[in-house]
Amino acid sequence: MASQNYKAWSVVTASTFAFTVCFMVWMMFAVIGIPIKKTLDLNETQFGILVALPVLTGSLFRLPVGMWTDKYGGRVVFFALMVSTIIPIWLISAGTQYWHYLVTGLFVGIAGASFTVGIAYCARWFPKERQGLAMGIFGAGNTGAAITKLVAPTIVVAYGWTMVPKVYAVLMLVTVIIFWMFTYTDPDHSTGHSTVTVREQLQALKDPTVWRYSQYYSIVFGGYVALSLWMTKYYITEYGFDLQLAALLAAAFSVPGGVLRAVGGWFSDKFGAHTVTWWVLWVSLVCLFFLSYPPTSLTIQTVTGPKTFHIGLNSVVFTILMFTMGIAFAIGKASVFKYISDDYPKNIGVVSGVVGLAGGMGGFILPIMFGALVDLTGVRSSAFMLMFGIVWVSLMWMYFKEVRPMGMARAKENPEPIHFT
């Protein structure tokens, strides 16, 4: 009979693999949406809606599946969630009209809710002092976004885009079987004694602190999802790269967003959630400042005649900035949840569900806004301008609600001595 320790690590390993596949599926339209856009002659706003719709259902389902996990256990809920996506994934390949992809995308998006299930499922197999490690390992499944950017373009080039959903449907079926074989059900994990209701979940929305944490997470997770969906097409349209190279470079942003989440948790434990999040937002703001500047030609009249200077980011500098911001977002995703565990130890599940929902909604709304801004202004870097403004607002919010009160509190505790002359 397997030991409890073996079961715990088997659950974490199988769940992380399953979450990685779910995230691959969730980000699928970031690649196949490009040939679909070309075939249907979609504008930028329509493309934004196409890639964002799966994120919508993945976000909205986080609260209910979290409650079902408390009541029925993570193994059953995770299994059922993955099974429900197999047929919709396959049906994407049969689509011929825009609404076909929108409808199937909504059903496929349920895979994104696997994060809430897996976090609770894995954590319950470990004592409190080791739950952070378990959740950090599971969270690394975010790298599924990068894997899709590496695998899907190769399939598109070799067999056409319709083969991608077929391959992913088969992969999901295999994942379901592996997951069920290597996971376990502990009777303590499905007692059926959950008393959390939807009304109680929504009570957290009245807390302004929860709104602030939701704002932070809508940047570090919502922004991560949105840019992961948007970057492949951005490289193609801005720099003229082919699909494979564009997806490869876009993965430079997506990879650290998953791999380094555990590192962010370690930093947050060591330096505190506030300090880490503060610096994450500042690093993001600096990166976005340079990313926002559109390519510009400047002509100056000199004594020898007009001279034209070209100002803009080449693909190398652009990729370095995106990679840096990907690291910052990865650390920030962990630091925001550290806030929650510090401030809401008795109802962490409720608050994390609300904050996770807000983060997912950011990933849904932002790609649509990116597309609308490009259609409105004609400037591709307007997506980064929008992100810059959001981060700036968040920094100001943090300053007035956290930094300034903390400084005033320290000043009261250690008043400066009065010197008489």
pLDDT band at 127 (very low <50, low <70, confident <90, very high): confident
The CATH label, of 3.10.110.10, 1.10.10.60, 1.10.150.110, 1.20.1250.20, for the domain at 4-409 is 1.20.1250.20
Give the per-residue pLDDT at 197. Answer: 59
pLDDT of residue 420: 47
pLDDT at 94: 92
The predicted pLDDT at position 82 comes to: 96
Q: With contact defined as beta carbons under 8 Å apart, do 74 and 106 qualify?
A: no
pLDDT at 1 > cutoff 70? no
Give the per-residue pLDDT at 322: 94
Of 44-58, 98-112, 222-236, 395-409, the one with minimum mean pLDDT is 395-409
Q: Summarize pLDDT for 276-316 with one digit per residue, the tens.
A: 999 999 999 999 999 998 888 888 888 888 888 888 889 99
Mean pLDDT score, 60-75: 80
pTM, rounded to two decimals? 0.79
250 vs 247: CA distance, rounded Å: 5
CA–CA dist 243, 236 (Å, integer):
7
Q: Say whether pLDDT at 216 is over 70.
A: yes
Condensed to tens digits (0 to 9), the pLDDT of residues 259-271 reads 787 788 778 778 8
Task: Provide mean pLDDT across the span 138-156.
Answer: 86
Characterize the bridge pairing of strands 296-302 and 305-311: antiparallel
Looking up tokens 């299994």, which residue turns up?
79
pLDDT in tens, 372-385: 999 999 999 999 99
Other beta carbons within 10 angstroms of residue 107's beta carbon come to 18
pLDDT at 150 over 70: yes
